[in-house]
């Protein structure tokens, strides 16, 4: 599924757009997104794809209606699991889950039952204002992903990536600002130093029988709060990983590597476990990150 005129997924002003159309959120339950809007936004690409494969565009499009999908995806056990995840996400990220803040009492999440937590159906006419509920079905992020998969696998993957990006603070707008103000590390003296420091870490790990990648994984998780694999998915960057980080980020990693190398080399134990190696990396990754993070 593709549309050459507009991007499949965008986050603009902290709101989700699919094929250039705003996906509204419920005003009282802002963690819920309108799959009715998703359905309408995908009309043109769905019909185009159906025609491409010799299917009737109208019949194909109607078969993808939200009600058709809901009828097969409302098992109680699954919905209880979704509600549990929604409560956990709201507790960690707030009722807006990383998107534009709506004036909603956070306590509302704890006062509603499981069903109301994952789905709301708005009947009747539209209400003025882009943030106010219009007619349609609103569901939690987990079910937005499931419905997107019902429409198209690629759409599901892109929305999943977007939700992860938003929760971790990485949207197109933020990424563009970072790219404008910070150059990537590739080819810089900072990156050359990084290579040298990693070589010294490898030597130190050899002395203590630790696999270097274990310490390096800990450093990445300490500095970025996630693994390199997850960060690459969130930002859409490839290998070499350190080449595609910003110079400032590699500076922080270099400080963490130097500290971790010293800690490993001079550890009182003659042999360290892989878990201990990772713990050392995580400890000094966080230390280096916190040392340059402004406090309020």
Render 16-55 in DSSP notation, one character per residue. EEETTEE--B-SSSTTEEEHHHHHHHTHHHHHHHHHHTT-
Model's pTM, two decimal places? 0.55
pLDDT (mean) for 248-277: 95
The rounded distance, in Å, linking the Cα atoms of 19 and 12 is: 12
Question: For the residues 106-123, what does the mean pLDDT come to?
Answer: 77
Asked whether 155 and 43 are in contact (CB, 8 A), the reply is: no
With a cut of 50, say whether residue 130 has pLDDT above it.
Answer: no
pLDDT at 129 over 60: no
The answer for residues whose C-beta is within 8 angstroms of residue 81's C-beta and 6 or more apart is none
In the predicted model, what is the mean pLDDT of residues 123-133? 47
- Rg (the chain; Cα; Å): 23
Whether residue 105 has pLDDT greater than 70: no
Calpha distance 286→40 (Å, rounded): 45
**Which of 244 and 281 is assigned the larger pLDDT?**
281
In this predicted structure, what is the pLDDT of residue 176? 55
Strand order in the sheet with 136-140: 32-34, 136-140, 119-122
Question: Looking at the predicted structure, is the pLDDT value of residue 119 above 60?
Answer: yes
User: Which tens digit of pLDDT belongs to each residue from 21-74?
Assistant: 999 998 888 899 999 999 999 999 999 999 999 999 999 999 999 998 988 877
Residue 125 has pLDDT above 50, yes or no: no
End-to-end Cα distance, the chain: 46
The answer to whether 119 and 137 have CB atoms below 8 angstroms apart is yes
pLDDT at residue 178 in the model: 45
Q: How many CB atoms lie within 10 A of CB 144?
A: 23
163 CB contacts (<8 Å, ≥6 apart)? 141, 144, 145
pLDDT of the residue at 238: 75
Mean pLDDT, to the nearest integer, of 117-122?
85
pLDDT digits (tens, 9 = 90+) for 219-252: 999 998 888 888 887 777 778 889 888 888 999 9
Band of residue 182 on the pLDDT scale cut at 50, 70, 90: low
Q: What is the pLDDT averaged over residues 254-272?
A: 96
């Amino acid at each position: 599924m593709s549309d050459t005129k507009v991007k499949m997924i965008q986050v603009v002003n902290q709101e989700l757009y699919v094929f250039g159309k705003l996906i509204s959120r419920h005003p009282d339950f802002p963690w819920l997104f309108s799959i009715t809007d998703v359905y309408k936004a995908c009309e043109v690409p769905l019909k185009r794809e159906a025609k491409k494969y010799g299917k009737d565009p109208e019949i194909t499009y109607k078969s993808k209606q939200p009600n058709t999908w809901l009828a097969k995806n409302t098992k109680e056990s699954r919905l209880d699991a979704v509600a549990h995840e929604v409560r956990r996400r709201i507790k960690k990220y707030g009722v807006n889950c990383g998107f534009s803040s709506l004036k909603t009492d956070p306590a509302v999440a704890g006062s509603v039952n499981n069903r109301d937590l994952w789905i709301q159906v708005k009947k009747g006419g539209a209400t003025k204002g882009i943030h106010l509920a219009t007619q349609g079905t609103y569901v939690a992020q987990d079910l937005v992903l499931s419905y997107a998969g019902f429409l198209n696998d690629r759409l599901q993957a892109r929305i999943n990536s977007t939700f992860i990006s938003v929760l971790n603070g990485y949207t197109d707008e933020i990424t563009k600002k970072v790219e404008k103000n910070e150059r990537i590390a590739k080819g810089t003296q900072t990156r050359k130093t990084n290579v040298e420091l990693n070589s010294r870490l490898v030597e130190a790990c050899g002395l203590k029988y630790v696999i270097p990648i274990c310490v390096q994984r800990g450093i990445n998780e300490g500095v970025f709060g996630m693994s390199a694999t997850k960060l690459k998915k969130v930002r859409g960057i490839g290998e070499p990983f350190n080449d595609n980080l910003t110079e400032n980020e590699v500076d922080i990693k270099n400080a963490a590597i130097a500290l971790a190398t010293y800690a490993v080399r001079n550890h009182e134990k003659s042999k360290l476990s892989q878990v201990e190696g990772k713990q050392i990396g995580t400890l000094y990754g966080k230390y280096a990150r916190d040392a340059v993070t402004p406090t309020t």
